[in-house]
């Protein structure tokens, strides 16, 4: 048998939820073991990486917009300092106004105190190759994060002082004792499950039911000169490199596999072509499954009575924005006893007697 290794916390899953949880734990001087199998479904490696405080189509703010979005850039700056790489790219979203009624509505909403910090109305065209005769909204406190870059750099950064195991976590090998957990040769005080849709295989969390949503996105090449904002109407056009853009995405709740489909590709292309008039070539097409919850709120907290087993999941389509904030809430709960809001607590899944 290999030598035993003692850590404070085992984290299962190395997507956004797992990485942010590890980062928060390390900031509290905890030693972590991260166990992740990136080859299985990893929504984080497919995601475009955009965050946006506004649901412009519905004329609503994103969940906890004022509390979370103005601080996201600062949080990513902290993790960037840790990995010594830039992954956060501040960039406003340009929401194209396609109807006169929408224009009139936003003319009023832009001076509403709730929306004012995030949004302003522009009456000119966005660019020659983008149909936007009614103008567009500029949405601030938005950006995109290069998530694959973040995940790779984070794993490199933790390897010397922490443990990284590139393997499937075998739930049947977890031994739960009163004062410690044992997993193979690891001894730990606590474990946090951050498996995205993989939670559906977790026997300790069998009572937690997700409502996953498949999504596909395209990567295109185009000579389009727009590279300082993210045009959006039906789909987004995210500039990620010179002449390279991510375009997406769609939502599918029935066929929950990771295969790319012609129908989703066509849906995305059709929506893009309604306003994007520059020729383009599709160079890649990806599919993933978002770990969404029924009430579209994250899921966090202890799943046992002894505060040894925890989950962090339910990030849905907002993992980039929600993972920094709720990973902090989770570790403060784990080590300082700070209560978790009922709205996001895993207790809402507890079987009722
Ligand atoms: C097409 C598409 C576009 C998206 N665009 C955006 C966007 O622009 N902005 C945004 O905020 N969000 C976006 N999302 C959503 C985003 O991807 C999720 O919110 C987020 O990535 C969820 O992170 P997670 O860590 O909870 O899950 P995941 O990223 O799925 O990570 C879970 C990890 O756990 C591992 N795992 C599971 N079970 C085990 C096990 N037994 N042993 C070991 N490892 C295990 C998996 O391999 C995976 O690596 C998009 C999603 C899709 C599909």
pLDDT at 1: 47
Same domain, residue pair 153 and 42: yes
Do 224 and 199 belong together in one domain?
Answer: no
Let me know if residue 74 belongs to a domain: no
Those residues whose C-beta lies under 8 Å from the C-beta of residue 274, and which sit 6 or more positions away, are 131, 233, 234
Q: What is the pLDDT of residues 158-189, one digit of tens each?
A: 999 999 999 999 999 999 999 999 999 999 99
Q: What is the CATH number of the domain that holds 176?
A: 3.50.50.60
Number of H helices, E strands in the chain: 8, 23
Tens of pLDDT along 294-334?
999 999 999 999 999 999 999 999 999 999 999 999 999 99
Ligand 1 centroid to Cα of residue 93, in Å, is 23
222 CA from centroid of ligand 1 (Å) = 28
Please tell me if the CB atom of residue 150 comes closer than 6 angstroms to any atom of ligand 1. Answer: no
95 within a domain of the structure (yes/no): no
**Same domain, yes or no, for 248 and 219?**
yes
Same domain, residue pair 283 and 246: yes
Task: Answer yes or no: is the C-beta of 135 below 6 A from any ligand 1 atom.
Answer: no
In whole angstroms, give the CA distance from residue 256 to residue 288. 9
Q: Phi, psi at residue 281, to the nearest 5°?
A: -125, 130
Name residues whose C-beta falls within 8 Å of residue 98's C-beta, 6 or more positions apart in sequence. 134, 233, 275
Give the residue from 258, 290, 322 where a domain finishes: 290
> What is the distance in A from the centroid of ligand 1 to the CA of 268?
21
The string of DSSP codes covering 165-177 is: E-S---GGGEEE-
Residues 283 and 231 occupy one common structural domain: yes
Distance of alpha carbon 152 from alpha carbon 164, whole angstroms = 12
User: Do residues 152 and 263 both lie within one domain?
Assistant: no
User: Could you tell me if 266 and 235 lie in one domain?
Assistant: yes
What single string gives the DSSP state of each residue in 27-81?
Answer: HTT--EEEE--TTS--HHHH---EE-SEEGGGTEEPTTHHHHGGGHHHHHHHHHH
Residue-range definition of the domain harbouring residue 274:
213-290
Do 200 and 299 fall into the same domain?
Answer: yes
Q: For the chain, which residues score pLDDT lower than 50? A: 1
Q: Pick from 290, 308, 338: which residue ends a domain?
A: 290
Task: Report the domain count for the chain.
Answer: 2
189 with 221, same domain? no
Is 103 a member of any domain? no
Q: Is there a domain that residue 100 lies in?
A: no
- pLDDT for 2 equals 66
CATH code: domain of residue 271:
3.30.9.10
Position 122 in a domain: no
Q: Does 125 map to a domain?
A: no
115 found inside a domain: no
Q: How far is the CA of 72 from the centre of ligand 1 (A)?
A: 18
What span, in angstroms and rounded, lies between the C-alpha atoms of 184 and 195? 19
Structural domain contains residue 187:
yes
Of 278, 282, 293, the closest CA to residue 343 belongs to: 293
Separation of alpha carbons 14 and 164, rounded Å: 10
Same domain, 223 and 286: yes
9: nearest Cα among 27, 31, 24, 36: 31
Distance CA 18, CA 192 (A): 8
Q: The whole model's pTM is what? A: 0.97
Whether residue 177 sits in one domain with residue 282: no
Q: Tell me: do 299 and 233 sit in the same domain.
A: no
Q: Does residue 35 line the site of ligand 1, with CB under 6 A?
A: yes
């Amino acid at each position: 048998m290999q030598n035993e290794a003692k850590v404070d916390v085992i984290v299962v899953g190395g997507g956004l939820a797992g990485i942010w949880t590890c980062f928060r734990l390390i900031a509290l001087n905890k030693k972590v073991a991260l166990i992740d199998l990136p080859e299985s479904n990893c929504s984080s490696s497919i995601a475009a990486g955009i965050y946006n405080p506004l649901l412009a189509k519905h004329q609503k703010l994103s969940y906890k917009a004022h509390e979370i979005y103005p601080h996201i850039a600062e949080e990513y700056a902290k993790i960037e300092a840790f990995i010594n790489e830039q992954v956060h790219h501040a960039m406003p979203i340009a929401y194209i106004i396609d109807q006169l009624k929408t224009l009139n509505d936003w003319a009023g909403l832009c001076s509403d105190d709730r929306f004012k910090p995030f949004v302003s109305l522009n009456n000119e065209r966005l660019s020659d190759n983008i149909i936007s005769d009614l103008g567009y909204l500029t949405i601030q406190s938005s950006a995109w994060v290069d998530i694959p870059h973040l995940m790779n750099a984070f794993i490199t950064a933790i390897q010397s002082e922490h443990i990284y195991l590139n393997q499937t976590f075998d739930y049947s090998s977890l031994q739960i004792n009163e004062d410690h957990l044992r997993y193979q040769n690891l001894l730990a005080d606590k474990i946090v499950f951050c498996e995205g849709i993989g939670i559906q295989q977790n026997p300790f969390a069998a009572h937690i039911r997700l409502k996953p949503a498949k999504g596909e996105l395209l990567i295109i090449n185009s000579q389009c000169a727009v590279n300082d904002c993210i045009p959006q109407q039906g789909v987004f056009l995210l500039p990620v490199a010179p002449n390279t853009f991510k375009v997406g995405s769609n939502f599918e709740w029935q066929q929950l596999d990771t295969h790319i489909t012609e129908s989703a590709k066509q849906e995305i292309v059709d929506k893009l072509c309604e306003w994007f008039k520059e020729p383009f070539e599709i160079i890649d097409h990806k599919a993933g499954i978002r770990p969404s919850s029924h009430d579209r709120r994250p899921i966090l907290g202890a799943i046992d009575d002894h505060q040894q087993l925890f989950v962090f999941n339910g990030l849905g389509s907002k993992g980039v924005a929600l993972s920094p904030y709720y990973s902090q809430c989770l570790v403060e709960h784990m080590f300082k006893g700070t209560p978790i809001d009922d709205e996001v607590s895993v207790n809402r899944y507890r079987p009722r007697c």
